[in-house]
Amino acid sequence: MKMLYKIFPLLTTLLSLSPPLSADPFHAQCRLEWNFGISCFTVYTSLVTQIKLWTSVDSCIKEGGERCLYELQSANVHYIVAKHRNLIHNYVDDLTFKLKPIAAIQSCKVSAFSVSEPWYIVLDNGINYCNLRNLAEGSGLVSAPGFTEFTNDFKCTQYSTANCTIY
Ligand SMILES: *[C@@H]1O[C@H](CO)[C@@H](O)[C@H](O)[C@H]1NC(C)=O
């Protein structure tokens, strides 16, 4: 019984160190915004096609870096959910893409988010950024008319030093 008194404060301390992922600003993650001068339907099909092309480990051998081990969870023209397993470090990141058509003109705004599942990952060498960026590059979406990308080092862990050739 005495032991419990000693253990309980330790347990609560440990639990408080691993809060829900979204509430932790120090957890490795990346939030960014893309704009395209093409329809959300085209953006949606491009992203989904690329995720499916990069599911097998073979695509990392072929394309290099971390361009493999993506897994589509669910997808519609408004919302895409996927996972990416890191080839080198073998942990999983969760990816979401919210697609919003801009009225009147043929264009699409995408809010993309990637977060590492393990709570202890604080620095990620920009891996969460590359999880998202590699899909946009691989699918050719970065060359779409009107493409812009907005993020910064506060929204996106180690964004400015990320090297997506490696990750
Ligand atoms: C990124 O990594 C690749 C492969 O190691 C390297 O060739 C390239 O110079 C690096 N790019 C930058 C900007 O550091």
**Beta strands 107-116 and 92-102, pairing class:** antiparallel
Does the C-beta of 64 come closer than 6 Å to ligand 1?
no
120: tokens are: 């202890």
SS (H, E, C) the chain: CHHHHHHHHHHHHHHHCCCCHHHCCCCCEEEEEEEECCCHHHHHHHHHHHHHHCCCCHHHHHHCCCCCCEEEEEEECCEEEEEEECCCCCCEEEEEEEEEEECCCCEEEEEEEEEECCCCCCCCCCHHHHHHHHHHHHCCHHHCCCCEEECCCCCECCHHHCCCCCC
The pTM of this model reads: 0.85
Residue 17 pLDDT grade (very low, low, confident, very high; cuts 50, 70, 90):
very low
Q: Please say whether the beta carbons of 100 and 41 come within 8 A.
A: no
Read off the pLDDT of residues 20-61 as tens digits, 9 standing for 90 and up. Answer: 444 456 799 999 999 999 999 999 999 999 999 999 999 999
Does the C-beta of 166 come closer than 6 Å to ligand 1?
yes
Atom of ligand 1 nearest to the CA of 163: 1
Does the C-beta of 163 come closer than 6 Å to ligand 1?
yes
Residues 154 and 145: their CA atoms lie apart, in Å, by 27
* Portion of the chain with pLDDT greater than 90, in percent: 78
Residue 87 pLDDT grade (very low, low, confident, very high; cuts 50, 70, 90):
very high
Residue 90 pLDDT grade (very low, low, confident, very high; cuts 50, 70, 90):
very high
Phi, psi torsion values for 79, nearest 5 degrees: -155, 125
CB-facing half-sphere around the CA of 139: CA atoms within 13 A: 23
Residue 1 pLDDT grade (very low, low, confident, very high; cuts 50, 70, 90):
very low
Average pLDDT along the chain? 88
Q: Whose CA is nearest to atom 3 of ligand 1?
A: 165
Q: Whose CA is nearest to atom 14 of ligand 1?
A: 163
Read off the pLDDT of residues 106-141 as tens digits, 9 standing for 90 and up. Answer: 899 999 999 999 988 899 999 999 999 999 999 999
